[in-house]
Amino acid sequence: MLLALPSAFFSLGLAALTTTELIRSSSHPNRQLFALRTAACKADIAGVRAQLERGVSAAALWTDTRPGDGGDALAAYFRCFTYGHRFDRELVEVLLAAGATLEVSALNPGALNPLETVVLLARPEDRAEAIEYLVKKGLAPNGTSASEGGTLGIAAYHGDAIAVRRLLDLGAKPNFGRSATRALTGQRDIVCRGLQEPVMKHFSIGAHWEAVDLLLDHGLVITEDDLAAGRKLCEGGTNAIVTHIESRLNQARDADLPLPLRR
């Protein structure tokens, strides 16, 4: 399921193969490279193998495109998670063995790296496996996009407690980038309505609470400025996440426990 995403994500290179690219491909000097990239985008491992057997380089960069959409065949595969295909460890291994790289941000400055893309777009049933696989392959558990709070900021924004827990277990640091701000300014329809029942198929305000609580329990620092940003999101109404954190703060104070908030 493709969620309502902040516009910033699309400027970071999550767009898949565009109509313009498809039109240009018919006259592109390396049509086989386009065919490899298309097969990777579709998670078509047979098509990927066929192009590699023809001698197409998995490491070759697709540069005849708009900024943020470049990179090699593996970059195309991860960007095309927008189509909802499953995480295919075998396909990733085939492309890595053929010279592709997981260091997408190095090839494509400003793009989300594969781990961040997995946290944002992978199917819920694949997410934990994909996160663990990519971290064990050497990707930093916090990701690279500090301006978006990295992996934890993305997961907290969407109230994805499963991803938050797995990332923390693998060593992600809660205070990387803007994790706190994004946790408090998550899906507006959810945090501003404060509903207990799911507003969208997989997400509810309870999931957001759990994700934020996990971050707080692991040392997330939330400031008054962060809380103010959360309140502002709801245009004078109630932000359920802000209310929850303030309630937790009061409970900690009453019990003389360490405060989960830095004032």
For residue 26, the model assigns a pLDDT of 47
If asked whether residues 78 and 184 sit together in one domain, one would say no
pTM, whole model, 2 decimals? 0.79
Let me know whether 154 and 253 are in one domain.
yes
Residue 14 pLDDT > 60: no
Residues 11 and 126 in one domain: yes
Q: Are residues 68 and 158 in the same domain?
A: no
Q: What is the CATH number of the domain that holds 63?
A: 1.25.40.20
62 against 99, higher pLDDT: 99
Among the candidates 131, 155, 176, a domain finishes at 131
Last residue of a domain, one of 131, 156, 175: 131
Q: pLDDT for 112-140, tens place per residue?
A: 788 988 998 888 889 999 999 999 999 99
Domain identity same for 76 and 41: yes
Whether residue 155 sits in one domain with residue 68: no
pLDDT, one tens digit per residue, over 168-222 is: 999 999 999 888 888 888 888 778 865 444 444 445 677 788 998 999 889 888 8
Q: pLDDT tens digits, residue range 69-112? A: 567 888 888 888 877 778 999 999 999 999 998 886 555 656 67
Indicate whether 41 and 68 sit together in one domain. yes
Weakest mean pLDDT among 57-71, 91-105, 152-166 = 57-71
In this structure, the answer to whether residues 24 and 88 fall within a common structural domain is yes
- For CA atoms 152, 158, 162, 163, the dihedral sign is negative
Q: Residues 8, 121: one domain?
A: yes
Q: Are residues 99 and 33 in the same domain?
A: yes
Domain limits for position 210:
140-263
Percent pLDDT > 90 in the chain is: 26
Decide if 163 contacts 130 (C-beta within 8 A): no
Q: Higher pLDDT residue, 231 or 23? A: 231
Q: Token digits for 179? A: 């994790």
Regarding whether 233 and 173 lie in a shared domain, the answer is yes
Domain identity same for 183 and 159: yes
Helix 124-136 with 114-121: angle, nearest 10 deg: 170
- Count of domains for the chain: 2
Work out the end-to-end distance of the chain between its first and last CA atoms, rounded to an integer number of angstroms.
Answer: 38
Q: Does residue 20 have a pLDDT over 50?
A: no
Q: For residue 4, what pLDDT is reported? A: 43
- Domain end among 131, 163, 186: 131
Helix ranges (H only) for the chain are: 7-11, 19-25, 31-41, 45-53, 73-79, 89-97, 104-107, 114-121, 124-136, 150-157, 161-169, 179-184, 188-191, 205-217, 224-233, 240-254
